[in-house]
Amino acid sequence: MAKSAFNELVKSSTPVLVDFSAEWCGPCKVLAPILHDLKNSVGDKAKIVKIDVDRNPEIAQKYRIQSVPTMMIFKDGEMKWRGSGVLQKPQLEQLIDQYQ
């Protein structure tokens, strides 16, 4: 994803959950179906985007991603929340609801 496209995406007034991940990352593979399920549950309440840190080094560097998976929630161009590791669907739903 181009840096400019990413910057436009996170300016949304709808919360954007960004999953920074990598192909080689085991926990990222565990998180993938959780995020897929979450996307179906939240519908239009939030956008869920996956960013591969190896394919998007500029974006990963800008946000100082040092471990994957790292997730962030953006709204109106501001980072509202950041966390690392695998979170379960109920926790993620609660975070998204918090930034509606």
Instruction: Measure the N-to-C terminal CA separation of the chain; round to a whole number of Å.
Output: 25
Residue 56 makes CB contacts below 8 A (sequence gap 6+) with 1, 6
The span from the CA of 54 to the CA of 17, in Å, is 19
Nearest to 19 by CA among 76, 78, 56: 56
Tokens of 42: 């939240």
Residues catalogued as catalytic:
25, 28
